[in-house]
Structure 1
Amino acid sequence: MPHLQTKRILLGVTGGVAAYKAAELTRLLVKAGADVRVVMTEAATHFVTPLTFQALSGKPVLTQLWDAGADNGMAHIDFSRDVDALLIAPASADFIAKLVHGVADDLLSTLCLARACQLFVAPAMNRQMWDNPATRRNIAQLRADGVTLLGPASGAQACGETGPGRMLEPDELLSLLTASLQPKSLAGKRVLVTAGPTIEAIDPVRALTNMSSGKMGYAVAQAAQAAGAEVVLVSGPTCLTAPANVQLVAVRSAADMAAAVDAALGGVDIFISVAAVADYRPAQPSEQKLKKSDAPLTLALLPNPDILADVASRADAPFCVGFAAESKNLLAYGEAKRQRKRLPLIVVNRVQDALGSDDNELWLLDDAGSHALARADKLTLACQLIDHIANLYSLQKQG
């Protein structure tokens, strides 16, 4: 987690069962190289003891406004300065309401009001509390105030019910925080990303497709946006939600994706082709459902347009980045594809590991050679990739 090394994180813990997850989050933040200071509300101490967080962070835990260790009596000011981020995890419905209305009746709420850094909130509450109109209004106001919401997820809850309101897992929060704190190396740049599979119709109910989940492409779009870029994401069908502040263009077939890319290319500085575009499509898709029979079925296939090659060959081509999923000879096949399409950078992964997985390992191939990215979750890899792209892009512009 290179973007967390030397970062100073103030972690606020409020009352809720999910407070136990904050202990693991503290451990992960420290492991990633962050300097972590924990602030707990009085309610939070009924779920996890301050001693637990002190052992994990290596620092005394702050709990009281009037006895917080500041020599000048200004703890609510001192501890919010020279901090890179203030993260509230878990953030209860009650504490979210405090943030919205500017209530400052304990150390954590006072720190939030007096902060001079970015505020992140990871909600955690019962599904009915999350869906309550009052909470919905408060969440909308937090967003309007520039607070970054991390989650919540939907799933089983401590009360025995199932639904939205579950706090994100510690590793998810770590990845999202890392992405948000990365340098704004693409500020002012326009980035176009493709993601997911394409679906090529055989008849109204059958199609040719692949097992791409879209996770890597969506992570790249999120990392590019976090790096300050204006991002357009052209995506084939997936089960994913588009990252915040990213413009999503939903498509189905390779032809649809090619048309959407062409329409979005104006003013694009960087094009990152992550999508697993089908190489072929049925030559004559049937307008009616094909009836099953015992006879063999032969499909005539036509090649689909090569979207990346077409974009890279333009006279006014943006900086183009390709992806290559290979099952063997990864570096050799990847470099051959890079040379064939005349790309400054191609990202290679092993197809057996990539499709549908939550983590991966990558090899970045450019004019300087091969650069390996060790196995990690896809958002972490996407942040590292965006760093590399930003450096290459800058060098290209300077040269």
Structure 2
Amino acid sequence: MAYRSLLRVPGAAFFPLGFLARLPYATSSLATLVLVQAASGSYAFAGLAAAAQGIANALGAPIAGALADRHGHRLVGTVTALASAAALTALVAASHTGRASMLTAAALSGLTQPPVGPLVRVHWSRLLHARARPDLIPTAFSYEATADEISFVAGPALVGLLTALGPTAPTLAAIALLVLATLPFALSLTQGSTEPRQDPRAARTPLPRLPLAAMFLAMAAMGTIFGAVQTGVTAYSNESGHPGSAGLLYAVFGIGSALAGAACAWLPASFTLRRRYVTFAATLLLGALTLVAGERGHVLPAAMAVAGVTVAPYLISLYALTERLAPADRATIALTILCAGGPLGTATGQALAGYLADGHGSGGAFLVPPIAAVMAFLLAVTVVLAHSARTRR
């Protein structure tokens, strides 16, 4: 079995630590929405603060990726984990002062967010190439997508549970996880690794700019869906009189996605990567339309579970395509550029959905995901057609 073979590569302890290390990212956006909305009384401002966090993360992640390629994963992971914990601490303090300080602290927490996903995927790629098992890379990426989605189940659920203790509790939990999980995980990344020693002054292989820009935009579309859904479920939960259920409701979105992500390891080789990309972009659009229908039909939890199935397969396609097009010595920055599209899109989705939620409730917020999904599908068709045209020349 492919997953059993994967277990023997880094050692069993790598998996639980890697899962816990990504939880601060899975909790920070929703935790910021909860904290800032409670402090300011405005969904629009909470969406703006979360947007500032996301935009700053989109700017900071490629810088962290470039530094990791040059100076090693351990150093960059350690510094960003400590800096992000400090920034979130500042955000908690700012929630007792004013809006400007909250906005600044939210942006700093995004700028310093540890790029756990790209770091661990590059780590897998290097380990598996070193062990002469590149055939396991798609399985590793399927596992990582599944772990991401499970974290996006556990993270919002944790936020929902901790919100009952107060609006600052989820952010305090993220700080604890950064220190107790992300930091030791970063310290473990290069132990026994095959990470190459590179001269920081050496010439670098150029990145394929246009294909990488397309992948960035594709991830941004997915992030827009995430951000709009987070804001939509927050508004929906408040409208229903159960504000603490927002995290639990959003967690339902990740259950189907985690299962679908795990199943991707068994997709047949004849189902090529580019065909998967277009197919899963189409199913993502269907899932977004399901959310609109579910909110209007008052069956949103069921719609969230169904729509979630469409998420991880799409994300796995993006990671695999980016890993394939990236030069070996620029893999980390390529994947961090891809991932930077996520928080930028999330910021856009939160800002748009927050504005619509203030005026039209949760129904307004849930109009954003189908628009983003249409853009994702059109981009996928364009990318695949352009590749086909190039190969025919």
Tell me, yes or no, whether TM beats 0.5.
Answer: no
Flag the structure with higher helix content: 2
Flag the structure with higher strand content: 1
TM-score (structure 1 length as normaliser)? 0.25
Larger Rg: 1
TM-score (structure 2 length as normaliser)? 0.26
